[in-house]
Amino acid sequence: MFSGTDLGSLYTPDIEKIISLEPDLVIVSTHFDEENAKKLEDLDIPVLTLYEEHDVTGVYDMIDILGTAVNRNAKAAECVSEMQSVIEEVSAAVEGLEIPSVYYVVGYGEYGDYTAGGDTFIGGLIELAGGNNIAKEVSGWNITLEEIVEADPSIIVISENDKEGFMSNENYADLTAVKNENVYTIDTNLLDRQGYRNAEGIRELAGIFHPEAFQ
């Protein structure tokens, strides 16, 4: 478990607290306010901004940059090559196998259906793992129920928390994957959070898509 000082939340970091700790480096990402970053820079605290990447290559760069920033280039290179070899292994294992159609659930139900479109990071991971994302035409996250029913995916991937609610929702009851119980759960941190764990995420996805190749 991570232990450390509470520095506020994602959207409202406690800038005073951060400054009082006199950090040598502050690493920030998408949701960090530019005004706050400027405040830190004005106090000569170096700020490294890493925005969301669009593919795994971007994650390699991200790890390299982090390695340089904390003087651990060798370790970073090792991480990257480990990731590369895992992903290469997966690609080799799923090579030539029949590609199943896949629906990845980001959100469902009362407030609409959300998935990872073809241009998203997760959409890319699904393709790398040897799946055919039914939402590859979608840009962003929003999809219509009609589209899902028409594509009728053979495999559905969802987070552990959402599975029960999804399975019992009458809107999805007629999907082949729901009827045949081809709805699989995954730790979405492996896919949502960009970093070293993405390789493991790809391997897990590939295991769901092609169980026969990973026995």
Partner 1 sequence: MQSILHKFRRQSVKFNIIILSAVLLAVIIFSVSVGSAKLSFAESLKLAAAKLPFAGRFVDSAYLGTKYETIVWKVRMPRTLTAALVGASLSLVGAAFQGIFRNPLADPHILGVSSGAAFGATLAMLTGAGAGFMGLGTVGIFAFAGALAVVFLVYSISKISGEISATSMLLTGTAISTFLSALISLLMTFHNDQIEKVYMWTMGSFSSAAWGKVGFLTLFAAIGAGILLMYARKLNLILMGDDDAKCLGIDVDRTRRHIIAAASILVGASVAVSGVIGFAGLMIPHCIRLVAGADNKKLMPYSFLLGAIFMTLCDVAARTVAAPTEIPVGIITAMFGAPYFIFLVLRRRKGIVLQP
Query: Which residues here bind partner 1, judged by CB under 8 A?
Result: 9-12, 107, 109-113, 135, 137-140, 142-147, 149-150, 152, 164-165, 168-171, 174
Q: How far is the CB of 148 from partner 1 (least distance, A)?
A: 9
Nearer to partner 1, 87 or 175 (CB): 175
Nearest alpha-carbon partner for 87 in 167, 162, 199, 189? 199
Q: Assess contact for 135 and 90: CB atoms under 8 A.
A: no
Q: How far is the CB of 146 from partner 1 (least distance, A)?
A: 5
Helix runs in the chain, H state only: 15-20, 34-42, 56-69, 73-94, 121-128, 145-151, 160-168, 176-179, 189-192, 198-209
Nearer to partner 1, 112 or 211 (CB): 112
Nearer to partner 1, 33 or 78 (CB): 33
Q: How far is the CB of 12 from partner 1 (least distance, A)?
A: 7
Nearer to partner 1, 10 or 74 (CB): 10
Q: Assess contact for 115 and 106: CB atoms under 8 A.
A: yes
